[in-house]
Amino acid sequence: MMPFSSLRPARVPFNRYTLSLWLRSSRGKRLIELESAELRRVLPEVFGRHVLQIGSWGRGDELLESCETLHHAVIGTVADFGEQARSLPEELPVLSKSVDGVLLPHTLEFSQSPHNVLREAARVLTDRGRLFVLGFNPWGGWVMRQRIGLGYRAFPPPTRYYGIGRISDWLELLDFEITEVRRFSVGFPWIAPRSQHQSWSVGSLLSPFAENYLVVARKRVLPVNFVGKLQRAQVKPIIGAAVQGAAQSTVSSQAVNL
């Protein structure tokens, strides 16, 4: 996935100091501003009691300031970053189906088991709960500069970068419905998006190369079909057309009685 890995600078240990140093830089501050602006559009759509951020990103709960739920909290992965608790994102100390919204700000990229992180997020989410995933675009300018050794050396590159397509595939397997995908970038924030009266714009042409993205997904609730279960339970090896028709008639009458 990283053809220029030989040119990449030596990895810097991921700790509180290196993360804080990068987030205090002009580029880090601008990225947090853009991500906060995107979240201000979508977080108020979460109704319920709890919204949970999994992962240390930003300062404390600044990314959750636009939440309108009764409570929000941060489970961090780095110490002393304003978190309410600290835990492995693959093993959350949270009850199943107890959270109405989950935010993963670059959490998958710094995890050795991103699939398990998504499974944990799906586990703690209530039915029809919302999931928000922030990530770096593998084909964005920031990542490409990291690959050829021109990135910000004080900030450790993630374990791996994941594109929107792969994130969407993983979420589909976990019975999530993708409701929105947003691309944005610190590199060219001045490019306006396409308006209602335009079929295209420079921003839409460059959006596949935007540095960052936000994926919004909703947890699906599969309906329980009791009639289908009854029909499957009545299926037996049958010999003879007349007997088969009688069995089907019996199943239909039982379904109507329900």
Which range among 113-122, 136-145, 153-162 has the greatest average pLDDT? 113-122
Give the span between the Cα atoms of 212 and 143, in whole angstroms: 10
Domains and CATH numbers, the chain: 5-219 (3.40.50.150), 226-257 (no CATH)
pTM for this model (two decimals): 0.74
pLDDT at site 122: 97
256 vs 173: which has the higher pLDDT = 173
Specify which residues 215 forms β-bridges with. Answer: 133, 181
- List, for residues 42-52, the tens digit of each pLDDT value: 999 999 999 99
d(CA 143, CA 2): 10
Contact 55, 83 (CB under 8 A): no
